[in-house]
Amino acid sequence: MRRVRLIRAFVLGLGVLCASVVLLGQDSKPTTTAKTGDQASAPEKDAKTSTTYSGMYTFLKDGEFVQVTVEDEGRVTGFISRFGDGESDKGAFLDQFFKNGKLEGNKLSFTTEIVHGVAFDFKGSVERGEGKNPGDEAYFVLKGTLTENASDVNKKVTSHSREVAFKLFPQDSVPVPVVRK
C-alpha cells in the first residue's frame, strides 16, 4: 500500500512539474524594456531567478512533497502532498493547496488551505543547497519555520512550529516535454 502511495505521489508530482515546464518553455511576446548593451534590467533578472525556484521539494516524511510555482510579480502557487496523521485519515494521501503565497527576492512565505483540521504556514527563504548544477538534487533548499495549525473537534487550535529545510528534487529524472512552435 505504501508503495502505491509513493508511486501516486511521484506521478502526481511529475504531472505538475511537466505542466510547469511546458508553461515556462512557451514563447512569450517580447517586452519593450530598455536595455543597455546585453545587460538585462534588475526586474527581469529577478523574475528569471525567481522562476528557477519553482519545483518539487521534499516535505516532512519520505514520500511527501511540496510543489512551489513562482508566477508573475512574486505570486506563489502550489500545494503540499502529505500523509494524514489523524484517526480518520491515518495514512491517506492529502493535498493541501496554497491559500496565499509570495516571494520577495529570496524570501518565501505561504499558507495552505485547511484540510482535515490542519493548515500549514511557511516563512523562510530559498537558498542555494549542496547541489552543484541546476537540476541537481538540493540545488535549492527552502529553509525557514513551518507552523502546523491543527484544530480539534471543539475548534481549539494548537500550533506547532519547527525549523525545516526542504530540498529540491532532481530535475534530470523528469522527462522534459518537447515544445512545438
Q: In tens digits, what is the pLDDT along the chain, a chain of 181 residues?
A: 444 444 444 444 544 444 444 334 444 444 444 444 444 444 444 555 566 899 999 999 999 999 999 998 899 999 999 999 877 788 789 999 999 999 999 999 999 999 999 999 999 999 999 999 988 999 999 999 999 999 988 889 999 999 999 999 998 554 444 455 5
Under DSSP, is residue 30 helix (H, G, I), strand (E, B) or coil? Answer: coil
Amino acid 51: pLDDT:
64
Amino acid 172: pLDDT:
58
Domains of the chain: 2-25+43-167 (2.40.128.30)
Residue 20 has which C-alpha cell? 510547469
Q: Which residues contact 145 (CB under 8 A, 6 or more apart)?
A: 122, 123, 124, 161, 162, 163, 164
